[in-house]
Structure 1
Amino acid sequence: MRLFVAVLPPPAVLAELEAAVAPLQALPGADGLRWTDRDGWHLTLAFLGEVPEERLPVLGEALARAALDHPVHRLRLAGGGHFGGRVLWVGMAGETWTLRALARSVAVAVGEVLDEGADAAEFHPHLTLARSGRHPAAGPLHAAAAELVPFHGAEFPVTAVHLVRSDLHAPRARYTSLRSWPLKPG
């Protein structure tokens, strides 16, 4: 099964973001973007790819240990940007240093369990809102990102990490949280 580890913002935070994103979908050229569904919004800490089901118990143990090494912390969705002309995202503010440390620990735990090196790419905390598809759509992405710059959502506590299964065979990507592990209580 195709898996990733993520933080799932609470429903009230997602509703606030949804209200901020709705006007962006009416911008010129925005109808050419593939907008992600609210029920799929998440903050990826580590992408695992295909994982055999028999590895899940040991993976769960490693993720539980990694989560408990980090305290509950507070974030907010804030600002926006794009990766090239392909991905529109909303960023994070708040205790992002704790989130970065958590992402590193998760990557190391996953690497040890799946016998792969931890992802050395720099972690850029974000939540993906839209993709341009095969051809970059710099104009609409730039305009939407500029509109997101002043956005500052409500603060929320990060209390757990989730192991999420992605089903890309549906008409739209569908994500299911299989299990979660708490962070160290504050």
Structure 2
Amino acid sequence: MNEETRPATVRVFIALAPPDHAKEELARVLRPAYGTHSRMRWNRIEDWHITLAFLGELPVASVPLLRQPLAGLAAAQPAPRLALRGSGHFDDRVLWSGVDGDLDELHMLAADVRSVVKRCGIVFEERPLRPHLTLARARRGDLTSTAEIATGFAGFSGTPWLAERLHLVGSNAGRSREPIRYRDIEAWPFDGGHHGAS
């Protein structure tokens, strides 16, 4: 309980998460690569997410400021209909799956999220939205694996799904040599979660 051992900051981002059936659909396609490319640092399936705004390290005390405004934003938004589709890699190191569907709505949602964060007085580095799901990272000296795996499921086309909630997520990234772990700080349902579900 020593104050010095308690982290004063937390790494935070705001994201959407695919439902379990959409993640399992992609995981089935990736399973052979898990075996043949075991040196890749694979993200846990339960941690797969689509980042809308990466806020970086925030003082723990500032996180509660986001709760009510983000809850209000989600309550006023219809749920975007999305699908996981295709694959690619950033800089030969990061393997990802692409996102398809209501991309205009997704970009507008990300812009609204970022506006809310700024109105809360939180400063963060604005990065262009490139909708994707990070799946794995290559270890140094093993960069050929990423392109090879991406080519293997480039034709993947997942079943469309509705994003049910807006997630405020914390991570332990950069704190130690442990694997990165994510946890929901809180998640809020979209008011339009039922729109277009038929």
Normalising by the residue count of structure 2, what TM-score does the alignment of the two structures yield? 0.83
Correspondent of 1:161 among 154, 166, 185: 166
Which residue in the other structure is 1:125 paired with? 131
| 1:106, distance to aligned residue in structure 2 (A) | 1.1
Deviations 1:48-92 (A, max 9, x none): 122223223321122123324431121111100011111000011
Change (3 A) 1:136 1:102: farther
Correspondent of 1:109 among 105, 108, 116: 116
Deviations 1:140-160 (A, max 9, x none): 111111112111112110122
Change (3 A) 1:182 1:130: same
Unpaired runs of at least 5, structure 1: none
Which residue in the other structure is 2:99 paired with? 92
Check whether the contact 2:55–2:124 (CA below 8 A) recurs between aligned residues.
Answer: no
Which residue in the other structure is 1:34 paired with? 41
The alignment partner of 1:39 has SS state of: helix
- Root-mean-square deviation (CA, aligned residues, Å) is 2.0
Unpaired runs of at least 5, structure 2: 1-9
Q: What are the within-5 Å matches in structure 2 for residues 11-26 of structure 1?
A: 11-26=20-35
The letter for the 2-side match of 1:131 is R
How far, CA to CA, are the matches of 1:118 and 1:107 in structure 2? 10
The letter for the 1-side match of 2:26 is L
| 1:117, distance to aligned residue in structure 2 (A) | 5.7
Change (3 A) 1:65 1:59: same
How far, CA to CA, are the matches of 1:31 and 1:66 in structure 2? 40
Which residue in the other structure is 2:150 paired with? 145
Check whether the contact 1:6–1:46 (CA below 8 A) recurs between aligned residues.
Answer: yes
How far, CA to CA, are the matches of 1:130 and 1:47 in structure 2? 18
Normalising by the residue count of structure 1, what TM-score does the alignment of the two structures yield? 0.87
